[in-house]
Amino acid sequence: MFILRTVFWKIREVLPAWGPVRWTMIVLVLLVLLFTGISLFHTPAYEVVYSYRWIVMPAGDGRNTVFCALDVGNTGRKPQEDVKIHFLRLVLNHAVIPPTAKNFDVVERAITISQAGMRTTLSLGRLEPGKRVTVSILLMYSSGALPPAWETAFRGVEPSRGKAKVGDPGLTAAGRGVFTVFTDFLPF
């Protein structure tokens, strides 16, 4: 109890000296860490961050169309030799066109599609640090067939090293950049 009281008083003494800019930055960075699990304080050697859009649209005659876009980015400092995206096999059987991938949502990227058991795997290949890939899939479900929820269709992102985390790859890189610029204003 004595230690907590001492720490509290030390923080209280330093608070006015740091000023509002430093405290605002610290609070924002800690909130990002708390809610996403992604650290803006440092860049790990191996890390992949991804986000998704799963939009179900009625197509008429009881049919449903599903548009899926998955943004995958290497937010680590070192390249990933291969990044794999796994889906439930039955889901991609409803693809109207084969899945496509684009670097930064602009330049076409070759991907490898394989199937094993109940899983379809999209292999993005080598992903350099700071690079992002958008994978797009268009699914069509006939009348009476309901499309699955994202949690059922998606089986995960598997980097060759490190961990894959849910988040926005672009915002993660931008947040780390802003944090680096404002490091001079921070107390640590």
CATH code (residue 72): 2.60.40.680
- 19 and 74 belong to one structural domain: no
Question: Do 90 and 163 belong to one domain?
Answer: yes
Domain match, 113 and 146 both: yes
State the residue for tokens 């937010």. Answer: 75
Strands 163-166 and 47-60: parallel
The domain containing residue 178 runs over which residues? 2-42+172-185
Share of residues in the chain with pLDDT > 70 (%): 74
For residues 111 and 142, state if they share a domain. yes
* pLDDT at residue 103 greater than cutoff 90: yes
- pLDDT for 7 equals 58
Taking residues 89-108, report their average pLDDT: 90
Answer whether residue 23 shows pLDDT above 90.
no
Please report the pLDDT score of residue 25 as a whole number.
65
Q: Are residues 129 and 52 in the same domain?
A: yes
Q: What percent of the chain has pLDDT over 90?
A: 45
User: Domain check: are 81 and 24 in the same one?
Assistant: no
pLDDT of residue 79: 96
Check whether residue 90 and residue 158 sit in a common domain: yes
Indicate whether 75 and 151 sit together in one domain.
Answer: yes
Cβ–Cβ under 8 Å, residues 86 and 153: no
- Does 36 lie in the same domain as 71? no
How many domains does the chain contain in total?
2
Q: Are residues 28 and 101 in the same domain?
A: no
Question: Would the pTM count as exceeding 0.85?
Answer: no
| 165-178 tens-digit pLDDT | 998 888 788 777 77
pLDDT tens for each residue of 49-71: 999 999 888 877 778 889 999 99
Q: Are residues 164 and 84 in the same domain?
A: yes
Which residue, 48, 45, 68, 49, is CA-closest to 57? 68
29 and 70: one domain?
A: no
Distance in angstroms (rounded) separating the CA atoms of residues 84 and 126: 10
